[in-house]
Amino acid sequence: MRKILLSAFLFLGLFSNSQNTKGDVFFGAAVVHTIDLNFTQTGYWDSLIANYITDVYMACNVVVDGSTLTTSGVKFKGNSSYNNPSVKKSFKLDFNNYVAGQQYDGLEKLNLNNGFKDPTIMREKIMLDFLWRAGIPGPRCAYTRVNINGTYWGLYTAVEEVNKDLLKDRFSDNKGNLFKGDPSGDLKWMGSAVNTYTSKYELKTNETANNWTDLIYLIDKINNSPVNYQDSLNKVLQVTPFLKAWAASNIFANLDSYIGSGHNYFVYHDSITNKFNWITWDVNEAFGNFTQGMTTTQIENLSISYTGGGAGNRPLCNKSLSNTSVFSSYVNEICYLTGYHFLQSYWFPHIDSLKNMIKSHVYADPNKFFNNTQFDSNIDTLIVVVGNPGGPNIAGLKSFFNRRRASLVTQMLANSCNVGLNEEHVTMNSIVVKPNPTTGKFWINTGGSAKKVVFYDVLGKEVDVELIKTGSDTEMQFSFEKLPKGLYFCKVGSEVKRIIHQ
């Protein structure tokens, strides 16, 4: 039987959120921010609409929590969140579009999302918080009131831009190619000609060089490796982080993603490791809000092997499911995330805390898509909203959580993984490791006064790790350069963090 408790300490780590990261102040504060958009142009709204078609920024004075960023760039964003009759549109802000080097808390851009289709305005926030805590690459999320020319426009989620700053923080490298799997990045092989892929994906960095050969090579290996598929995939993709992202999307039934609709992700080609990294994006349809024609009950009991579009339409998932070793690793990730992160004991208080923080701002929102009763009710239970674009039934956050977790526990038992429903053994910790994964040297912040750090390999055997230097009272730099590549664990007191040496 697969053991989720290999040793009591092995799987208690949280996300290796980094030290001195750009955006730490903005995203780290448990507050509702205030962003003012002050337009001086006559007819600015009509200009914003016209600019949406041409994808051009408009000049605007932006004030974030009292700090003025003059002549910033603002434009509408989104697809379904834009193409609705409401005036509550989503925005993208670019602080240095007109003023070179202008930033707020080190951030050059912010995405302001309008909560379309989500009565709770929490789905995106909760899943992105989950990814952050579980160490799965993705953007961070906060809440903000948005005022336009002095008028309260509504409560928005503010989501981190996936750009070079995020790449540098998450992967310690930002020189490689970043591709967005939009509008239809299904990763199917379409031949070696570049022009067959440019309408399905977007190159977001190094646009001048415009070299797509690495993406085509990745897609080739995914589709055309009949022998040793796992070895071929490992050479071009950081497989474990991808499996984690896949597992998280399945756990949250986030189907407006690669596993469902076939888009809403980034792949980044790290120039140091020469491998692609998977970055989750656009999770506002989490908690089963993008149904792909299924009922709420079917969504809550979604198979861990689910892929949208039928056999062969999501080749990265389809081929991984058919490979015994890769599928086993995928099951391990679902087992781990379900057993140690997808927990009522943590997330229900978190949901309640978010509700208390945003409730007054939701109630006051003059342009919200749902009424106050629907906001309150949908946090706990399913509600029926006639005419809702995603269908009348909208799963409740807590009811979905309980039923989804029960389904996952059952599915894990069928795959020799005993997750169990008892959460008493689970604790959260504050150990920070950066970078993680690491190619050798890394920093550990113990999050407290304890200085003793003990390292173990996957068998639970203690290993000697070189201490290079000590920073502050809680920061130490170590090196794995003399150890074989693989999975390790660091233990500080009763807390443990997983570290990947690659």
Task: Output the domain CATH number for residue 451.
Answer: 2.60.40
**363 belongs to a structural domain:** no
The token duo for 373 is: 């009763």
Q: What is the pLDDT of residue 458?
A: 59
Domain count along the chain: 3
Measured at the CA of 128, the angle between CA 122 and CA 130, to 5 degrees, comes to 100
Shared domain check, 200 and 133: no
Q: Examine the pLDDT at 86 and tell me if it is beyond 70.
A: yes
CB count in 10 Å sphere of residue 295: 12
Answer with the one of 160, 191, 218 that is the final residue of a domain. 160
CA atoms within 13 A of residue 294's CA, in its CB half-sphere:
22
DSSP 293-323: T--HHHHHT--TT--TTSTTSSHHHHHHHHS
pLDDT interval class at 11 (50, 70, 90): very low
End residue of a domain, out of 307, 340, 373 = 340
Per-residue confidence band for 24, with pLDDT thresholds at 50, 70 and 90: very high
Same domain, residue pair 34 and 156:
yes
DSSP state at residue 380: H
Same domain flag for 254 and 334:
yes
Q: Is residue 128 part of a domain?
A: yes
- What range does the domain containing 210 cover? 170-340
Span 326-333, mean pLDDT? 94
Same-domain pairing of 326 and 205: yes
User: Does 303 share its domain with 450?
Assistant: no
pLDDT digits (tens, 9 = 90+) for 371-406: 999 999 999 999 999 988 888 999 999 999 999 999
Beta-carbon-side half-sphere exposure of residue 377 (alpha carbons within 13 Å): 12
pLDDT in tens, 178-194: 999 999 999 999 999 99
138-160 per-position pLDDT tens digit: 999 999 999 999 999 999 999 99
Q: Please state whether the peptide bond connecting residue 437 to the residue before it is cis, i.e. omega within 30 degrees of 0.
A: yes
pLDDT in tens, 451-494: 688 888 755 678 899 998 887 667 888 999 889 887 788 888 76
Residue 357 lies in a domain: no
Claim to verify: residue 174 and residue 252 sit in the same structural domain: yes
Strands 383-384 and 393-394: antiparallel
Q: Is the pLDDT of residue 325 over 50?
A: yes
Residue 100, amino acid: A
Residues 152 and 83 in one domain: yes
Tell me: do 436 and 494 sit in the same domain. yes
pLDDT on residue 5: 37
> Strands, E, within 353-482: which ranges?
383-384, 393-394, 432-434, 441-445, 454-457, 462-463, 466-470, 475-479
Give the model's pLDDT for residue 260. 96
Q: What is the mean pLDDT of residues 96-121?
A: 97
Residue 123 lies in a domain: yes
352 inside domain: no
> Would you state the pLDDT for residue 20?
52
Q: Is residue 391 part of a domain?
A: no
- Model confidence at 340, pLDDT cuts 50, 70, 90, reads confident
Query: Based on the domain organization, do 112 and 185 belong to the same domain?
Result: no
- Sequence-distant (≥ 6) Cβ neighbours of residue 152 within 8 angstroms: 145, 146, 364, 365, 366
* Residue 44 is assigned to a structural domain of this protein: yes
Same domain for 448 and 318: no
How far, in Å, CA of 173 to CA of 164, rounded? 8
Position with higher pLDDT, 3 vs 358 = 358
Confidence class for position 428, pLDDT limits 50, 70, 90: very low
Contact 418/409 with Cβ under 8 angstroms?
Answer: no
| Nearest partner of 463 among 475, 479, 449, judged by Cα | 479
Q: What pLDDT, on a 0 to 100 scale, did the predictor assign at position 420?
A: 57
Calculate the alpha carbon distances from 366 to 60, 88, 151, 348 in Å. 22, 9, 10, 28
Same domain, 153 and 227: no
The answer to whether residue 241 scores a pLDDT higher than 90 is yes
Same domain, 183 and 134: no
- Joined tokens for residue 7: 């040793």
Q: Can you tell me the distance from the alpha carbon of 201 to that of 190, in angstroms, rounded to the nearest whole number?
A: 13
Of 340, 367, 383, the domain-final residue: 340
Helix (H) or strand (E) holding 165: helix 164-171
Q: Examine residue 349 and state whether it is found in any structural domain, yes or no.
A: no
Cβ-contact 318, 311 below 8 angstroms: yes
Q: Which two tokens stand for residue 251?
A: 């756990």
